[in-house]
Amino acid sequence: MLFSWKFASPRVSPAPRALPVPENSWARHGAFVARCSAAALLSYELAGWVGLPHPVWAAISGIIVSQERLTETTSATIGRLSGTVVGIAVAVAVGSLLDLWGAGVAVQMTCAVAVSAALARRFPLVRVAMWTAPIVFLTDPEATPLVEAGLWRGAEVMVGGLVGAALHWGSEQGIARLRPSADARESEPAPPSSG
């Protein structure tokens, strides 16, 4: 029933308690939008400020690690960072080896993706390695040595991933302050019974 015509009881109600902020509230939605946007901006600016040549990879990584829940962001960050390290290592190792035999970039990249895919099948957390290898190979192979390209891309991903994770942690701290703690609610005295 939309309206109730009953009168309130004459007893005095206790002061209303603060309501907890539900998981799907405006605060959580707003925090997600704000931290994704901030992760892109801050990662890009920080990567540019420290002199990384392609700060776009930092911005992308900052967004990729930003998930709905902090545990998911933590997992995405660990996967993104560890997969990037594996992808760089595979790209540099396979590329350096195949370069000795005169294989072109396309063959080197294909073999590195195959090795990364085999690793990702066994260790799904490092699935990012499969696309890290092509990113390393396709960074102007004529002008940038493979090891240097790998280190630059790794640094860019690290900046973005860590910024994205830090922003999520910070937003969770802010949201937690909006909610009263369960301990405080439980320690409040019960309203007197009218009996």
* Domain boundaries, given as residue ranges, for the chain: 26-181
Report the pLDDT averaged over residues 165-169: 92
Distance CA(93)–CA(126), nearest Å, equals 17
Distance CA(128)–CA(86), nearest Å, equals 9
So what's the pLDDT on residue 178? Answer: 73
Whether the predicted pLDDT of 182 surpasses 50: no
Of the ranges 26-35, 66-75, 93-102, the best mean pLDDT one: 93-102
So what's the pLDDT on residue 183? Answer: 44
Distance CA(130)–CA(90), nearest Å, equals 9
- 45-65 pLDDT per residue, tens: 999 999 999 999 999 999 999
Q: Assess contact for 158 and 64: CB atoms under 8 A.
A: no
So what's the pLDDT on residue 101? Answer: 94
pTM: 0.74
Tokens 């004459």 correspond to 10
Whether the predicted pLDDT of 137 surpasses 80: yes
Mean pLDDT of all residues in the chain? Answer: 83
Which of the four pLDDT bands, split at 50, 70 and 90, describes residue 180?
low
- 6-38 pLDDT per residue, tens: 544 445 445 455 445 455 577 778 888 999 999
